[in-house]
Structure 1
Amino acid sequence: MYPVSIKPGKTTIDLNFHPDFQLYRGYNDSVGLHISFKQFQKKKGILRGSILFSKPNGELFTVVGVYPYQSRDYEIRPTDTWNFALVLNDLNDLSKDLTIKFSHYNFMQNTTLAPFNRTNIPVFVYGQVASVGAWDEYENAASPPPISPACIESGMCGAPQETVFVPHGSTDLRIGEFPLAYTMEKKSKRLQLRLKYLLPFFNLSKKNDEDQKQMDKN
């Protein structure tokens, strides 16, 4: 609570919020991106404040059903690449890799318009992504994101490229959760997980060798 003293008469109070970028974790260490008030989670999505940002896809609309009163059913298919990993070099300071920009949308004069009007989007986030060849479709939809980091070995991903993220509700087709490309923290974590599951097999193999040597002696 922040107290404000107001004198009698008409008073105008302007509130300016400056929330941080925030990642939320999802399946397979993928991430989503908001602009929010700090927290770090797993798959990544981009958040700022209460807004989730997604990468929009090119869209091809096909009418598949026509009904009375001009009601129609549409099939929407992407017209460009959708399978990308999010390129972030410092998970502790996302502002190094992500930039927010505002349009000249006047909220005070456009109070009757839809807040997610896609013809005049008020806010954008700019960053980098890299295409992930191993991330494919499953049953006519994107399969679960690959494990992060998705680009730690040569040839796994394309070169980083600039892209724009928009509020999730401003799109029809979009990707809102991404694997991380090659963040160092995730490299170490992935190696630890591999060792965790492989070590019992190494120990079992060593034990079998010792048992065989004992049998040979007998």
Structure 2
Amino acid sequence: MDKASPMPAYAQLADFLRSGISRGEYPPGSRLPAEATLAKAYGVSAMTARQAVSVLEENNLVRRVQGSGTYVRKVDVGTSNFDLESFARVFGDQDNLQVRIVKAEVKKGAGPEKEVLGLQAKDSVIMVERIISHQNEPFTLHVSFTTFDPTSPTVEAMLDTVVLTGLIFQEGYSNFKRGSLRLTPTLLEPREARLLELKQGEPVFKLDHLFYNFDDQPTAFGWFLISHEKMPLISKVGIWDD
């Protein structure tokens, strides 16, 4: 243990144990030394040893079994998660984003938005279609719908890309209570391909989003179309040192 290190003792011990698991010193299914044994071996308190093991447990590297000990987990692909890190990173680079609204209109809901938003025959929606480019290259085509209400701040949100991206990637936006995202594959239609400067029929990701207001009513619906090359989905399983 490096007492001069700014890293807390429990974090150092957690790193030592993680390295031991990575090297195979503690293979999957094996039991880690007892916390009292770790404390004595590394010259730390029992509380520090417990904190170190808790870090490994939080990282899903080990599991505690009451009355038996702490065991190294096997690699579990079923617990892996795919995130939208590359998508969020681009949208966070506001200095290099360019937005061009290619279509905006108030119309009667007649497509998928009618069912998703629960529209009646008399209800109108605002539809906004925009190309969002990053570093002067088309990144995604975004289509959005919201129930038409001139007094609602949601209208401003659907026209303001900075606010819009905050709905998904930032905290603190208060007009919506909750939302859901769904990722599916689709093929580009001719107009979509032209706007994205891609080939007709090329496979892309379709990222649907649906937001609810504080009355639990669906309020805003839409989707992003984006090439898998610009939004790769990567999930890491097992033990990584980075």
TM bin (shorter chain): under 0.3
TM-score by length of 2: 0.21
TM-score by length of 1: 0.23
Flag the structure with higher helix content. 2
